[in-house]
Structure 1
C-alpha cells in the first residue's frame, strides 16, 4: 500500500531538477501513505515526473522500490495497492520467458503491462489499485483505478496548464499553481450525501477517477480544454446485468458452498503479507465472517480489533468480544468517549483530505490508530451490505415504493410537495416527502439524503445528477432490490465506505483489505436471487447461513446497529465550543459559501433539543474544519 503522485508540465516550462523538486513535494504531502521509502522519476523531455511513497507489505527489499521501470525500458509505473493473484500472474509471465529480480507484486504488474498492455493486465489482475503507467515510446500516461474503488486517484490542471495527479488532494495542492476555488456544486453534494462522489471534487478543475476506470493522457495535449475520455475497463453496471441474466445454477446448498469456497479463497489471498496482519471485528455479520475464515486458515490466533463507546446505542464491543472468544482470536478493544473524539477532531479534516462527513469517520480513525499499534495490514468486512441486502433502509424503501405504486403517484407528487429539511424529522413532513416521490430512485434518494435541498443553503450551487437521480444508473433487469443495491454499489460504497476506510487507515500507514469485494465474490452475489439475500425478515440471509458454520446461532442472528458515533451528544457536550466557532454567523457570511440564516437556525434548534439536526450540521462543520485545515 502506498501513495502515488505526478505531473506533466507544458514543454520547456520545468527542467529536470524543477520536475524532481515538484515530484518530491507532491510525494512528501502524502508521506503518511508510505513512510518506508520515497522515489521520483523524471522524463524531462516530456515534462513528466512520477512520485511514489512506499508502505512495504510484500517484498520488503529494495527490489520493491518505485517508480519502477520495465526490463525493456519502455514502461515506468507508480502503483498503489495490492495484486493478490500476483503469484499466478508471475507463473504465466515466467512461462513466456519473463525473469524477475524480486518477489513484489509491483514487478509482476509492470511485467504484465509490458507483455499484455494496460487494460489486459488490469483485467487479469485481482486486487485493489490506483496506478500511473508511463509509456516512454508513445509519450502517454495511463491512470487507472481498481474495479470497486478501493484506492483513490485525483487529477486536474493548474492555471498554467500543468497536469497533476495523486492519491490524495494534498498531493495536488503541493503544486503552488493549483487553483483552490471551491466548487459549490460539489459542496452541495457533500451536504446531501455526506461525501463528494466521483468524478466531482471540492476544488474546481480537479476530478476523481471513478471506480473501474482508465484514462489515457497524451503528454503533448494536457490542457484542461482537451479533457481526456474516461473509459471503464471494468463496467460494474454491465457486469451486474450480465450476472443477473446468467443467474446462479443450483439450490441453496450449492450457493452456500460456492460462497464458502470463493470467499475462503479471497480471504486466503489477502492474508499474504511480509508484515503483521489482523482483522477489524465489529461483531457484525461481515467482519465476523471474514475473521472466522481467517482463523480457520491461520496457524496461530488472528489479531482482532474493535472499538466501544460510552453511548450504549453505538456500542457493539461486547458482542465483538463474544465472537472473538468463540473464534479464539487475540482480541484488543479500545473504549472511546467524547474526550477521545475531541482530541481527534482538530486533525480529522487533514485525515480525510477532502471534506467528508460520515460521522463513523471518527470511530474508524480511532480503530485504525489502535490496530496500527499492533499490525500493518487489517482485513475488513466492507461490501457485504451492498452485495447481500444488508440495510434496513432497503426494506423500508421497497415497502414504501410498493405502497405508493397502488396510489395515483403522479398526482400525489404534485399535491404533496416536498417539505424540504423538515422531512428528516418524521411525522407529517416525512409523510409528505414520501408521497412526493415519483419512482424508486426518488424513494432511495430520500432515504440517503441529509440536506434535501442543499442548493438552497450553498451559495451558487446547482443540483447535480448522481446514481440516485440518473435513470441510466438503473439496471435493465433484476428486481427493485437489485436496483437499490446497484445504486449503492456505484456511489455509496466507493465514495463513502471505502473512502472512509482508505483515508483513516492510510493516515496511520495501515493497509486495509476487503475480501468481500473480491470481484469473484461480487459477481457471485449479483447472480443470486433475492431469496438468498433477504428471507422472512432476515437481512444477508446467505452470509449469515455461512457464518453459522463457524459461530453459534446466538452470535449470528441479532439486530444490526451499525458503526456510528454519538455525534449529537458530543456536539451538545465536549464539541460544542468547537462547533460554535465554526458556525459563527459573521464567519459564515464573510466566507460566502453558505447562507448563514438556515445554518444558524438549525444550530439553535439543535441546541434547543431538536435531536436530528446533528446529521445536517456535521456536514457543514466538516467543510468548515477542512477550510481551517487548508487555510
Structure 2
C-alpha cells in the first residue's frame, strides 16, 4: 500500500534536478500513505517524472523499492496496492523465463506487464491497485484502477499543458503551474451525496479515474491539454453483473452456502499474507464478523480485532463486537470514545480526506484506524457485503414503494405528487410527495441517497451532472429491480463513499485495509445468486448470515443492522456550535462566492431552533468550508 504521483510535460525537461525536485515535492504531500521509503524516477528527454511513497507490506527489503524498472528496461511502474495472487502469477511467469530479484508483488506485476501488456496483466491479477506504467519504447503512459475502486487516482492538466496524476489531490496541487478553482457542479454533488463521485473532483479540470478504468496517453494526448481523454474499462461492473445474472447459479441453497464458504476462505487467506502485523476491523455486524471468523478459523493464533464505541447508545455497537470477539477467541482491543476524541478530529478532516467528504462515519472510521495502527499495519474489513447481498433496509423500502406507485392511478399520482424541495428530507407528507414524484425505481433510489434534493439551487453557478443514480445506462439490462438497486450502489456509493472513507482514514495513519468480500470472484458469485438467497422471510443478507451461523451462535448472528456514524446533530448544537457558526458566517459565505448565504443561513437557523434533520444538510456545507481553508 503506497502513494503514487507524477507529471508529464509536453516538452522535454532541460533540468534533471528540477524534475527530480518536482517528483519529491509531489511525493512528500502524500508521504503519510507510504512513510517507509520514497523514490523518484525521471526521463528528462520525455519530460516525465514518477514518484512513489512506500508502505512496506510484502518484501520489506530494498528489492521492493519503487518506481521499479522491468528487467528488459522497457517498463517503469509506480504502483499502489496489492496483487493477492502474486505467487500464482510468479510461478507462471517463471515458467516463461522471467527471473525475480525479490519477492514483492510489484515485481510480479511489472513482469506480467512486460509479458502480456497492461490490460492483460490486470485481467490476470486479483487485487486492489492504482498504477502508472510508463512504456519507454512506445512513449506511452498508462493509468489504471482496480475493479471495484479500492485505490484512488486523480489526474488532469496544469495551465501550461503538463499532465499530472496522483493518489490524492494534494500531490497535483504541489505542481506550481496548477491554479485550483472550485468546480461548482462537483460541489453540488457533494451536497447531494456527501461525496464527489468519479469522474468528477472538487477542482476544475481535475478528474478521478473510475473503478475498473484504464487511461492511455501518448505525447500527442498530453500536448492537447485537457482534450477529450479516452477512458476505457478493463473490467466493466455492469457488463460483468449482466453476464453473472444471465449465467445464474447452478445449485441449491446448500451448494451456494458451500461455494460461498470456499470463496471467502480463499479470499481471506490471500489477504492474510503480509510481512507485517495483521488484524481485523470488528463492528459486530454480519460482514465484519464473518471475515473475522474466517480469519480466526485459518489462523494458528488469536487474530487481533478492533472496535470502537461511543457514549451515544444509538451509535454504539461495541458490546456486540466484544461478544463476537469472546466467542471467536480473538485478541480484541476496544476504544470507547466519549465524543471528545471524535470532536478533536473534526478540524483535521479536511486535510485527512484531501477532498471535501461529508459522510459523518468518517469520524469513527478515523478513530478505528488510529486504534488499529497502534498494533498492526494491515487490517481486514467487511466492506461490500451490503451492496452484494441486499444488506440495506432502504432497498426493501424502495422496492415496496415502487410497487405501490405502480398500482396507484395516474390521475391520483398527478394530483398528489409534487416537488417539496429540501423539506422532503424531513419526512411526513413532504417525503411522500417526493417519492410519488420520483417517477421510477431509479428516481426512488436517488431520493433515498440524497441529502440536498436540489443542491444546484444553493451552489452558485452549478448545473446538474449525471451520476449512476441519474443515468439510465447505469441500470443493468437484466435481473430484478433488487439487482438494479444494488448495482447503483456498487457503481457509486460503494467506491465513492465507503471505500474512499476507508482509504483516506487508513492511509492517513499508514494502515493498509483489505476487503475480502470485494474479491472479484466473490462479487461475481454474489451477482449470480437469485434474490431468494439474499433476502428470505424478511432476513437481509440471508446467505452470509447462514454461513456466519457456522461460526457463531444464532444469538450473535440475528440482530438488527446498526449504523456506523457519529452524533453530529448533538455536536452542532453543543460543542461544535461556535465552530459551525464561524464556518457559516453570512459575510464569509458571500465573499467566498460558492454558496447562497441566504439559503444556508435559513437552514442553520431552523436547525438551531429545533429542526433536527437539517444536520445532514449542514455537515456537507461545513466539510466544504473546512476544506476550502486548505486551498
Aligned to 2:21: 21
Q: Retained in 1: the 8 A contact 2:58–2:274?
A: yes
Cα root mean square deviation, aligned = 1.0
Find the aligned partners of 1:102 and 1:197 in 2 and give their Cα distance.
38
SS at match of 2:78: strand
What is the deviation of 1:577?
1.1
Determine the structure 2 residue equivalent to 1:255.
256
| Rounded Cα–Cα distance in structure 2 between residues aligned with 1:221 and 1:410 | 54
Match of 2:353 in 1: 352
Aligned to 1:582: 583
Look up the match of 2:272: 271
Work out the CA distance in 1 between the residues paired with 2:534 and 2:566. 27
Q: How high is the TM-score relative to the length of structure 2? A: 0.99
| Deviations 1:229-270, CA, capped at 9 Å, x for gaps | 000000110000000000000000000000000011000000
**Which aligned pairs between 1:33-432 and structure 2 lie closer than 5 A?**
33-222=33-222, 223-409=224-410, 412=413, 416-432=417-433
Residues 501-534 of structure 1, C-alpha deviations (whole Å, 9 max, x = no match): 0000000000000000000000000000000000
The residue aligned with 1:528 is 529
Q: Which residue of 1 aligns with 2:471?
A: 470
Matches within 5 A, 1:592-611: 592-611=593-612
Q: Deviations over 1:125-167 (max 9, x none)?
A: 0000000000000000000000000000000000000000000
The 4+ residue runs of structure 1 with deviation greater than 6 A are none
Contact 1:409 1:435 in 2 (8 A): no
After superposition, what is the alpha-carbon deviation per residue over 1:155-183, rounded to whole angstroms, capped at 9, x for unaligned? Answer: 00000000000000010001011121000
**Structure 1 residue 13: Cα displacement:** 5.0
- Bigger drift between 305-314 and 4-13 goes to 4-13
1:428 CA drift (Å): 1.0
C-alpha separation in 1, matches of 2:454 and 2:176: 35
Q: Quote how far apart the aligned CAs of 1:119 are.
A: 0.2
Asked whether the 8 Å contact 2:35–2:510 carries over to 1, the reply is yes
TM-superposed deviation, 1:228: 2.2
CA contact (8 A) 1:179 1:204 kept: no
2: CA distance, partners of 1:227 / 1:478: 33
Q: Is the 8 A contact 1:164 1:172 kept in 2?
A: yes
How far 1:433 moved relative to its partner?
0.6
Unaligned runs of 5+ in 2: none
- Equivalent residue, structure 2, for 1:443: 444
Closer, same or farther in 2 for the Cα pair 1:410/1:245, shift >3 Å? Answer: farther
1:1-12 matches, within 5 Å, as 1-12=1-12
C-alpha separation between the residues in 1 aligned to 2:598 and 2:494? 33
Asked if 2 retains the 8 angstrom alpha-carbon contact of 1:266 and 1:516, the reply is yes
Contact 2:13 2:19 in 1 (8 A): no
Structure 1 residue 342 displacement after superposition: 1.9
Q: Distance in 1 between matches of 2:481 and 2:67?
A: 46
Residue 101 of structure 1 aligns to a residue whose secondary structure is coil
Deviation of the 1:389 alpha carbon: 0.1
C-alpha contact (below 8 Å) 1:422/1:430 kept by paired residues: yes
- Worse overlay, 218-227 or 367-376: 218-227
CA contact (8 A) 1:338 1:574 kept: no
Residue ranges of structure 1 left out of the alignment (5+ in a row): none
Aligned length: 630
CA contact (8 A) 2:416 2:433 kept: no
1:431 Cα deviation (Å)?
Answer: 1.0
Given that 2:212 and 2:233 are in contact with CA atoms closer than 8 Å, whether structure 1 keeps it comes out as: yes
Tell me how far 1:219 sits from its aligned partner. 2.5
State the alpha-carbon separation in 2 of the partners of residues 14 and 346 from structure 1.
42
Give the C-alpha shift of residue 409 in structure 1.
Answer: 4.6
Compute the displacement of 1:281 (Å): 0.2
Q: What SS is found at the alignment partner of 2:164?
A: strand
